[in-house]
Copies of this chain bind each other. A is one copy, B any other.
């Protein structure tokens, strides 16, 4: 089911700036029993991303109600898209622009369902992310880099591709944030130049602090991952997954993905 500005419909205005320029942001969140999971974090991030692009942020209670209205009865996924609305041609946004708000539900993907494998196989992508501090961290609608990176493989055994920036520093997965452990300490890439700072990543960092795990947010080369004791990816739909294989490199099963995944869900909003 899809709501566009609160109305049930499958379509949006063909002159919407979200389509014309990718002029907007989005959130993909998990729902359980018809309610958004981690709502406090998702709304906080949505509001921050709207502010970064000078978009009017939808009212929290109203948006929550729309998510509940479209959510599947059991577990599912809801995507929220906020664009700068439809308007005349040209990059300049008309004054007093009314945003477009799209709230759409989908079934839970196989990899996020109960019983899905805890560990996944990944590969390095050749595409390098461009560094744009004005857009870094924001989950905006300009995602051609992710589309091109995801098009680098069609082997269904490969679940995720890992990305570096044009400086050769590790940033993230195509659809996930990246963490690794070495000597009992947790590492995750600095996202001040590119990448999406996801809600699962923010929760994982809070969980690590709660558990007393020393954490490093840094610009690090791929060699740092190759030397890790355990590597993990995470996002809001699937939680934490262990990386069992990265191209020719393998890691034995570790407790870390389970420990951190459990911690991710423990945090009370």
Contacts and interface: CB of A to CB of B under 8 A. Distances in A.
A23 B144 contact: yes
A48 to B, nearest CB: 16
Contacts of A19: 12, 16, 18-19, 81, 83, 141
Q: How many identical subunits does the complex contain?
A: 2
A79 interface: yes
Contacts of A84: 147
A142 B135 CA distance: 12
Contacts of A204: none
Nearest to A126: B134
Interface in A1-18: 2, 4, 9-18
Contact of A143 (B11, B12, B23, B89): B23
Residues of A in contact with B, size category: 35 or more
Given A22-B144, A79-B89, 12 more contacts: A10-B14, A11-B14, A22-B141, A22-B143, A84-B147, A89-B106, A91-B149, A92-B154, A93-B147, A93-B151, A134-B145, A142-B144
26 contacts: A2-B15, A10-B13, A11-B14, A15-B104, A19-B81, A20-B26, A20-B141, A21-B141, A21-B142, A21-B144, A22-B22, A22-B142, A23-B143, A23-B144, A77-B89, A90-B109, A90-B150, A91-B174, A92-B151, A129-B132, A130-B132, A130-B194, A131-B131, A131-B166, A132-B145, A135-B148
